[in-house]
Structure 1
Amino acid sequence: MHPMLNIAVRAARSAGNVIARSFEQSDKIEVEAKGLNDLVTNVDKQAEQIIIDTILKSYPEHSIVSEERGVIAGSNADYQWIIDPLDGTTNFIKGIPHFAVSIALKYKGKLDQAVIYDPIRGELFTASRGKGAQLNNSRIRVSNMKEINGSVLATGFPFKQKASADAYLNMFKDLFTKTADMRRAGSAALDLAYVAAGRVDGFFELGLKPWDTAAGELLVIEAGGLVTDFNGGTNHAKSGNTVAANARVLKQLLTDIRPHLTPSMINR
């Protein structure tokens, strides 16, 4: 295992242990609103601090971008860690056991290492650039589905961008009529990990943040899939509009998504 991936795994497991223990003691979870439909807990912050401390202990010169703390500038800008300490906070608050720790590392602007850890199921998804993707040390690959018909897709509702609800629902309707089924589980990180593992055949969501998708993107790519924006381009990290699947399914996803794009989605 790459030494930096090893540190990311150590950080994810340590944070996951705290999250799992707290999940069993819901009376001690403190919730506050960061913004409209945007919640954070004391556990998010505690897990995030554990991850940051673990990384900086080994690599004090590295930069970090994290959901709750923002940017921590390091002296070596070539290395940038992207952290979501608890992706699926609403599930966590509601007692739904589906959430994950997400940690990615970029080197000179390119995704290099990735970890997504589900502390409830004990599932550790990892990837290193050019080395493939693994689930608990076993190689994973994206689905070999050849078309949308009969596929199972994952998605997320635009709960922070409800002005886009009509456009999103039109996309959903077009895709739903062709698929075997759709899933909305509440963690974009795990959705992408499940695409990488072939558990779902594709994924689309709008308005995501880099910490939601960075680790999952590398997992999908290293598992043989593609990740693009809604136009099939590479602006998804900036726009937050993300599609992931194998090449054939992704092409069909984009065909059904494009007719419903609004100017705001295109120009983000």
Structure 2
Amino acid sequence: MTDDIGIGYFRSIGKRLREKIPGLRFSSTVQEPLERGASGDKTYRMDRVSEDIILEALYNTGHPLTIVSEEAGMIEIKGGGLRVLVDPVDGSKNAVTGIPMFCASMALVDGDRVSGLKMSYIINVLTGDEYWAVRGEGSFCNGRRLRTQGDDVMRVVLYETQNPGRDVPVILPLISSANRTRCFGSTALDLCFVAFGAASVYVNPAPARSFDFAGGLLIVEEAGGVVTDIEGNSIEDVELSMKRVSPLLVSANGRLHGKALERLSGGR
């Protein structure tokens, strides 16, 4: 990693986001799309302001970087270098409709594969809660070390769907076995909730985009969680790009993951 792009630098970006983004929630134009971003989704003013803050800070490092961002697409600074996955507002639909459940997510990658994830940072810009992880050094929330749920009780299952009519039948055997379920609309925060023990399992049966999950992935793994696709295959060699790449199954521990895979096999 470059010398000055560390968690402290990402946290300084988070501080600026915390200062600027909450005030945009109830502006008169919050629900008016500006255009379609590189991902194909609508770009709103909140997306644009958040992305501008993040990109300016990354440019100001002076280092060669390859940025993959939901709105701007792929940008090479000084010919490109370490890859930075950016989701300026994860949970945009929540953000523009007034639902207080969204965040900004950043991840630093050596190479272009999941296996190259080195560092990640997520901030809930409304609460100010910060989550981060460095490969081999653990994951943290506001400086407190995170650990996933230790037992194999299926207490809370989180899920996301792009097409409920198609996706819910696939995951129904799993979510039916949980004590409780939640669908928050922010993959990055979902993974953080698994990391600090608030949820047992997260599932998304549709291919997700890498900037949606890259930041949360390292955080949950460093907290003790297990990550595969919904058939139990490793995603370590999945490319981190603009494409929709893989369904996700994330569990607090191996025993829960085994249970989740067993139940999902009944929905396919």
TM range (shorter): 0.7 to 0.9
**Superposed, which structure 2 residues align to 1:128-147 within 5 Å?**
128-147=134-153
User: Aligned to 1:232, what secondary structure does the other structure show?
Assistant: coil
The corresponding residue for 1:49 is: 52
The corresponding residue for 1:266 is: none
Higher helix share: 1
The corresponding residue for 2:24 is: 22
Q: Which moved more, 1:184-193 or 1:31-40?
A: 31-40
1:38 to 1:70, Cα distance in 2 relative to 1, 3 A: closer
Q: Is the 8 A contact 2:171 2:267 kept in 1?
A: no
Q: Is the 8 A contact 2:148 2:195 kept in 1?
A: yes
> Once the 2 structures are TM-superposed, how far is the Cα of residue 183 of structure 1 from its aligned partner?
0.3
**Aligned letter for 1:224?**
G
> Once the 2 structures are TM-superposed, how far is the Cα of residue 54 of structure 1 from its aligned partner?
0.4
Question: Given the alignment, which residue of 95, 101, 104 partners 1:101?
Answer: 104
> Once the 2 structures are TM-superposed, how far is the Cα of residue 210 of structure 1 from its aligned partner?
0.5
The corresponding residue for 1:152 is: 156
**Aligned letter for 1:93?**
V
In the alignment, the residues of structure 2 paired with residue 7 and residue 181 of structure 1 have an alpha-carbon distance, to the nearest angstrom, of 37
User: Aligned to 2:249, what secondary structure does the other structure show?
Assistant: strand
Q: Which moved more, 1:70-79 or 1:118-127?
A: 70-79
The corresponding residue for 1:230 is: 230
Give the CA RMSD over aligned residues: 2.3
Q: Is the 8 A contact 1:15 1:48 kept in 2?
A: no
**Aligned letter for 1:249?**
L
> Once the 2 structures are TM-superposed, how far is the Cα of residue 193 of structure 1 from its aligned partner?
0.7
User: Aligned to 1:260, what secondary structure does the other structure show?
Assistant: coil
Output the TM-score relative to the length of structure 2: 0.86
1:106 to 1:37, Cα distance in 2 relative to 1, 3 A: closer
Q: Is the 8 A contact 2:231 2:261 kept in 1?
A: yes
Question: Given the alignment, which residue of 258, 261, 264 partners 2:265?
Answer: 258
Output the TM-score relative to the length of structure 1: 0.86
Structure 1 unaligned spans of 5+: 262-268
In the alignment, the residues of structure 1 paired with residue 83 and residue 245 of structure 2 have an alpha-carbon distance, to the nearest angstrom, of 20
The C-alpha deviation readout for 1:153-192, integer Å capped at 9, x for no partner, is 1111224xx6xx33x2223321232110110011111000
Structure 2 unaligned spans of 5+: none
The corresponding residue for 2:118 is: 112
What is the aligned residue count?
253
**Aligned letter for 2:183?**
R
**Superposed, which structure 2 residues align to 1:1-268 within 5 Å?**
3-23=5-25, 25-32=26-33, 34=36, 38-75=41-78, 77-109=80-112, 110-148=116-154, 151-159=155-163, 165-166=165-166, 168-205=167-204, 206-235=206-235, 239-245=245-251, 246-261=253-268
User: Aligned to 1:240, what secondary structure does the other structure show?
Assistant: strand
> Once the 2 structures are TM-superposed, how far is the Cα of residue 2 of structure 1 from its aligned partner?
7.7
In the alignment, the residues of structure 2 paired with residue 231 and residue 76 of structure 1 have an alpha-carbon distance, to the nearest angstrom, of 38
In the alignment, the residues of structure 2 paired with residue 178 and residue 125 of structure 1 have an alpha-carbon distance, to the nearest angstrom, of 29
Q: Is the 8 A contact 2:139 2:222 kept in 1?
A: yes
In the alignment, the residues of structure 1 paired with residue 41 and residue 81 of structure 2 have an alpha-carbon distance, to the nearest angstrom, of 31
> Once the 2 structures are TM-superposed, how far is the Cα of residue 47 of structure 1 from its aligned partner?
0.7
The C-alpha deviation readout for 1:118-146, integer Å capped at 9, x for no partner, is 01111000101100000000101111131
